[in-house]
């Protein structure tokens, strides 16, 4: 007892001495607080050792109970850091904050100090050096994280200040530098620290602590709103803590100011925009959350009168739309879907329901937005077929048909939508019907919707003073005209016709839809228009005509010559438009579909199509279009070739460079095989006789057994590429006497001619392989049959390969012969040049040297003499003709070559009739004259000079 009393006495005397010392000096030794000449309160330097003294003062067992001394020291500390905490001091500062939080539970006096320290935390952290920001990053993150954990302190003022400090910490307002050499952290750095600290998730978890504290809850919601609107990372952290569900469940708590609902909806909106919408939907797709949204929406709809209330109502409707996209959301079970459908049909459909009995729309912009959102949510709910019954009960079809009427036919009673709003609702109703009407065929026919749509189409093409004023995205490309209405009306008709319902399609045809649609197509202009909306309308119109006429001969006759002219007009499209990106490729595809469905199968239409060179246009399209269009065009041409008149046109087509139709088809075959990866050698011959048609994709599936209900790779190959269609073409054209084929074409043709044999063997080989994969051994006769088929296919492939080799050899021989002929022609040309040169040299020699001239003349006379007939007896009966012409002077210059026929046989009477009249050819060779042998006919042609005496 004495020892303990002595220690207490000593400690009391020591504390007394410390108290006297501090009462005597104005400053405190533990904190270096200086006042500069620029003003009071500026931070110049605080040593870490001073903060350590404060920590020892608060934690040392000898001084832990000195509350007055603690409060005095902490007040001085707060005064020192009025401009903000330094990054290097954060670790010690937040240790002090934690100690104060613990002491405030038993000693409320520490709460005010804690409040002041937390207030300073709302200021940007300060750095002495640029490197401090990187050096103390981890400490700063831990400090902010600890700030969020302080929400456990059961004091309302402290919690309010924590939320206010966090909100202030990420405030973008600029702060003045607190002192010389100190700079606050930038806003981006502070936001990054908040993200990395995870304080957003901590604040969401603390919502459960504030259920009965409205003011604190409002401040916390405000802080979460600030955090969610500044960062995607914070939104993800909040969603991780189930923020959407927790906020939604408490959004309808009693609040005279209405701030709870507003803050809650803003947070949900921020989470929707910056967070994961799927995660938010999953959190709100439960019965409790939907009931809360339903209560909030109905409250704002029925009791809200301010523009602020209307905006909040529309925000809640957007969130509800997002929830409706989740098929697991119990929107129908909660009764909310029925009420939304009721509001969507108001005011077009009158109802005695209490919810709409006293509902008054002001037809302002916010009510207009709500109407559009309700129409949109009808489209979203239509994905769940359970909603269709609610649509029938709510008369959704009738309400939508009322909205799509032309503006001049709507009778307004009292206040209603403005013309601009009416136009936008008309377009959105048409877009909604394109989704909803196919689900409600009975109601569609009951409302005579086909008649209304055809009347709307007629109104769209009328030339009147209507000027479209809509500014929604539905009116894109059609403002200032009726093009937007035409676009959505045609789209709705396409949706209905594509159902292939006999009643709907027959009703359209009975009302003259085919002639009306053809007139629209011809009125909209040519295929080279650059307007994407117009191109879309043309495509939809052609698809409607194709569907209506596909299986009905009478409708094809109604399509008639006017329809053929339309297709010819669009088939003449400039091929460069295919790659414009405007939709011309879809237009040409729908045009070919129109040819296939509306022309082929009706002889009168086919004859007109052939007369207008339709086959030539289709082959031109194959030649100029990308490979993705080849399948449809080839299919249409193949069916068109059932008409015998078409084959003549196919044989008569010539492409660029004189290419024939068989050449083009064989070229397509090679392109298909190259794209598929079929094994061929450099000349296009069969490289693998075992698998002459198998491509790379089939080899990949060779190791997998195909289920019985799934077609095998060999069967799928027939439908996925164009080789089958090309083979069908040649079956109609024949495999012989085809014009315009090259050697490469003949090699390919030998494969095409055996396509069916190869494909049959391929399927049997596939059957054998699948039996082996399944571990099934066929009986001996079946195994022998499979082996025989496989061997027959391989033998056929080998014969085709030999045939291809023979074709190549013949081509090589022809090439060799042509090469020889070319060289012979070249030699002949060189010989002619030599003869011409020698003749010129001989001519120059005669004119320049008299001796040569004399020798040439002597040789010429000798040649003439030798060519004369020998004299015979007079009684021989032979006539003798002198070649000497009196008075003719010989010349030393060469003249024209003369051909003298021999004496006829009936005059000579014997074989001497073949005597020739020799012509003198005196070329100069090596400068000397010599007599050449008798000239041939070819030499006579090249001879340039001769004299006859």
Inter-CA distances, 263 with 130, 222, 271, 923, Å? 38, 6, 12, 118
Q: Is the pLDDT of residue 904 over 80?
A: no
pLDDT of res. 640: 93
pLDDT of res. 899: 47
| 817 vs 700, more confident | 817
Q: What is the DSSP string of 751-800?
A: HHTTHHHHHHHHHHHHHHHHHHHTT----HHHHHHHHHHHHHHHHHHHHH
- The span from the CA of 692 to the CA of 672, in Å, is 14
pLDDT digits (tens, 9 = 90+) for 514-550: 999 999 998 887 766 678 888 999 999 999 999 999 9
Q: Is the pLDDT of residue 914 over 80?
A: no
Range with lowest mean pLDDT among 165-179, 191-205, 882-896: 882-896
- The span from the CA of 122 to the CA of 843, in Å, is 118
* E strand or H helix at 591: helix 584-594
| 39 vs 850, more confident | 850
Q: Is the pLDDT of residue 349 over 60?
A: yes
Q: Give the residue among 329, 352, 332 at the shortest CA–CA distance from 341.
A: 332
**Yes or no: domain 47-173+184-197 corresponds to CATH 2.60.40:** no
Structure token pair of residue 821: 């002929």
Q: Name, of 128-132, 163-167, 411-415, 673-677, the range with top average pLDDT.
A: 163-167
Q: Give the residue among 80, 61, 62, 76 at the shortest CA–CA distance from 25.
A: 76
Q: Is the pLDDT of residue 70 over 60?
A: yes
Range with lowest mean pLDDT among 36-50, 372-386, 450-464: 36-50
Average of per-residue pLDDT values in the chain: 82
pLDDT of res. 511: 93
Q: Is the pLDDT of residue 557 over 50?
A: yes
- State mean pLDDT over 42-60: 72
Using pLDDT thresholds of 50, 70 and 90, give the confidence band for residue 773: confident
- State mean pLDDT over 384-403: 93
Q: Is the pLDDT of residue 43 over 60?
A: no
Q: Name, of 666-675, 679-688, 858-867, the range with top average pLDDT.
A: 666-675
pLDDT of res. 766: 85
Which residues fall within 8 angstroms of residue 277, CB to CB, at 6 or more apart?
322
Which residues fall within 8 angstroms of residue 108, CB to CB, at 6 or more apart?
none
Q: Rg of the Cα trace of the chain?
A: 51
pLDDT digits (tens, 9 = 90+) for 872-901: 555 444 444 554 444 444 444 444 444 444
Using pLDDT thresholds of 50, 70 and 90, give the confidence band for residue 620: very high
pLDDT of res. 107: 86
Structure token pair of residue 248: 């939604």
Range with lowest mean pLDDT among 341-345, 562-566, 732-736, 911-915: 911-915
Q: Is the pLDDT of residue 480 over 80?
A: no
Q: Is the pLDDT of residue 690 over 60?
A: yes
Answer for the pair 170, 226: CB distance below 8 angstroms, yes or no.
Answer: yes
- State mean pLDDT over 920-939: 41
- State mean pLDDT over 419-447: 93
CA torsion, ordered 367, 373, 377, 379, to nearest 10 deg: 120
Using pLDDT thresholds of 50, 70 and 90, give the confidence band for residue 513: very high
Structure token pair of residue 719: 């439908």
- State mean pLDDT over 140-144: 92
Q: Is the pLDDT of residue 856 over 60?
A: yes
Q: What is the largest CA-CA distance in the chain?
A: 193
Q: Which residues is 126 bridged to in the sheet?
A: 86, 184
pTM of the model: 0.75
Structure token pair of residue 638: 């193949």
pLDDT digits (tens, 9 = 90+) for 11-35: 343 333 333 333 333 333 333 333 3
Answer for the pair 314, 373: CB distance below 8 angstroms, yes or no.
Answer: yes
pLDDT digits (tens, 9 = 90+) for 258-308: 899 999 999 999 999 998 989 999 999 999 999 999 999 999 998 888 888
- State mean pLDDT over 920-937: 41
The DSSP call for residue 613 is: T
Domain-wise residue ranges, the chain: 47-173+184-197, 405-511, 538-650, 670-824
pLDDT of res. 578: 81
């Amino acid at each position: 007892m004495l020892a303990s009393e002595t220690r207490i006495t000593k400690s009391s005397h020591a504390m007394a001495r410390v108290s006297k010392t501090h009462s005597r000096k104005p400053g405190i030794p533990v904190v270096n607080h200086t006042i500069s000449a620029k003003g009071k309160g500026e931070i110049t330097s605080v040593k870490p050792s001073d903060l350590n003294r404060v920590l020892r003062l608060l934690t040392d067992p000898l001084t832990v109970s000195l509350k007055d001394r603690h409060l005095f020291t902490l007040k001085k500390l707060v005064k020192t850091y009025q401009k903000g905490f330094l990054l290097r001091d954060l670790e010690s500062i937040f240790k002090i904050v934690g100690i104060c939080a613990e002491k405030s539970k038993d000693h409320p006096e520490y709460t005010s100090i804690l409040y002041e320290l937390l207030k300073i935390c709302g200021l940007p952290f300060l750095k002495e050096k640029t490197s401090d920001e990187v050096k103390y990053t981890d400490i700063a993150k831990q400090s902010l994280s600890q700030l969020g954990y302080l929400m456990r302190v059961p004091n309302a003022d402290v919690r309010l200040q924590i939320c206010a400090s966090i909100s202030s910490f990420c405030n973008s307002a600029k702060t003045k530098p607190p002192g010389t050499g100190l700079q606050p952290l930038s806003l981006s750095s502070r936001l990054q620290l908040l993200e990395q600290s995870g304080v957003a998730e901590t604040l969401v978890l603390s919502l459960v602590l504030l259920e009965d504290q409205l003011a604190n809850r409002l401040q916390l919601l405000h802080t979460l709103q600030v955090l969610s609107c500044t960062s995607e990372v914070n939104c993800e952290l909040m969603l991780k803590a189930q923020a959407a569900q927790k906020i939604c469940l408490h959004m309808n708590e009693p609040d005279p100011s209405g701030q709870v609902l507003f803050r809650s909806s803003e947070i949900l909106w921020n989470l929707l925009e910056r967070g994961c919408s799927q995660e938010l939907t999953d959190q709100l797709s439960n019965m409790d959350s939907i009931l809360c949204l339903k209560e909030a929406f109905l409250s704002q709809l029925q009791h809200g009168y301010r523009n602020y209330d209307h905006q909040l109502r529309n925000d809640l409707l957007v969130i509800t739309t997002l929830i409706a996209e989740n098929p697991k959301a119990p929107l129908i079970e909660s009764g909310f879907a029925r009420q939304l459908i009721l509001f969507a049909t108001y005011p077009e459909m009158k109802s005695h329901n209490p919810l709409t009995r006293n509902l008054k729309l002001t037809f302002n912009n916010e009510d207009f937005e709500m109407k559009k959102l309700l129409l949109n949510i009808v489209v979203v709910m239509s994905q769940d077929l359970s909603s269709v019954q609610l649509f029938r009960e709510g008369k959704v079809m009738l309400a939508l048909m009322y909205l799509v009427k032309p503006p001049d036919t709507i009778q307004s009673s009292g206040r209603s939508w403005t013309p601009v709003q009416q136009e936008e609702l008309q377009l959105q109703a048409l877009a909604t019907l394109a989704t909803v009407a196919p689900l409600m065929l009975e109601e569609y026919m009951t409302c005579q919707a086909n008649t209304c749509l055809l009347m709307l189409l007629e109104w769209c093409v009328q030339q009147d003073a209507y000027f479209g004023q809509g500014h929604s995205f539905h009116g894109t490309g059609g403002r200032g005209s009726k093009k937007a209405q035409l676009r959505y009306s045609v789209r709705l008709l396409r949706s209905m016709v594509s159902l292939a319902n006999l009643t709907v399609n027959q009703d359209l045809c009975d009302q003259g839809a085919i002639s009306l649609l053809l007139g629209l197509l011809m009125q909209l202009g040519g295929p080279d228009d650059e307007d994407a909306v117009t191109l879309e309308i043309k495509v939809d119109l052609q698809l409607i005509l194709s569907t209506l006429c596909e299986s009905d001969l009478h409708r094809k006759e109604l399509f008639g010559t006017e329809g053929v002219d339309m297709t010819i007009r669009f088939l003449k499209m400039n091929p460069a438009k295919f790659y414009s990106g405007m939709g011309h490729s879809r237009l040409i595809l729908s045009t070919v579909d129109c040819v296939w469905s509306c022309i082929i199968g009706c002889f009168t239409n086919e004859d007109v199509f052939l007369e207008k060179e339709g086959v030539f246009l289709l082959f031109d399209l194959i030649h100029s279009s990308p490979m993705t269009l080849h399948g449809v065009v080839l299919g249409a041409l193949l069916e068109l070739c059932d008409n015998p008149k078409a084959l003549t046109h196919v044989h008569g087509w010539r492409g660029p460079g004189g290419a024939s139709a068989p050449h083009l088809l064989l070229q397509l075959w090679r392109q298909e095989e190259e794209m598929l990866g079929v094994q061929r050698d450099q000349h296009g011959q069969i490289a693998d006789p075992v698998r002459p048609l198998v491509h790379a994709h089939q080899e990949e599936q060779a190791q997998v057994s195909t289920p019985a209900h799934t077609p095998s790779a060999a069967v799928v190959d027939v439908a996925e590429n164009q080789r089958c269609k090309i083979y069908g073409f040649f079956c109609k054209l024949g495999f012989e006497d085809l014009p315009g084929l090259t050697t490469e074409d003949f090699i390919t043709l030998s494969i095409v001619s055996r396509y069916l044999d190869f494909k049959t063997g391929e399927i049997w080989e596939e059957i054998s392989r699948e039996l082996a994969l399944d571990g099934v051994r066929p009986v001996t006769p079946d195994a022998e049959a499979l082996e025989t088929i496989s061997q027959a296919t391989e033998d056929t492939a080998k014969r085709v390969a030999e045939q291809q080799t023979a074709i190549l050899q013949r081509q090589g021989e022809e090439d060799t012969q042509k090469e020889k002929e070319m060289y012979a022609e070249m030699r002949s040309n060189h010989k002619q040049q030599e003869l011409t040169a020698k003749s010129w040299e001989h001519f120059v020699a005669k004119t320049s040297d008299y001796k040569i001239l004399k020798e040439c003349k002597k040789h010429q006379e000798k040649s003439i003499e030798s060519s004369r007939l020998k004299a015979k007896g007079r009684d021989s009966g032979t006539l003798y003709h002198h070649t000497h012409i009196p008075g003719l002077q010989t010349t030393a210059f060469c003249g024209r070559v003369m051909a003298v026929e021999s004496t006829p046989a009936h005059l000579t009477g014997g074989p001497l009739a073949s005597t020739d009249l020799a012509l003198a050819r005196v070329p100069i060779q090596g400068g000397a004259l010599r007599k050449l042998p008798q000239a041939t006919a070819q030499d006579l042609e090249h001879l340039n000079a001769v004299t006859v005496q």
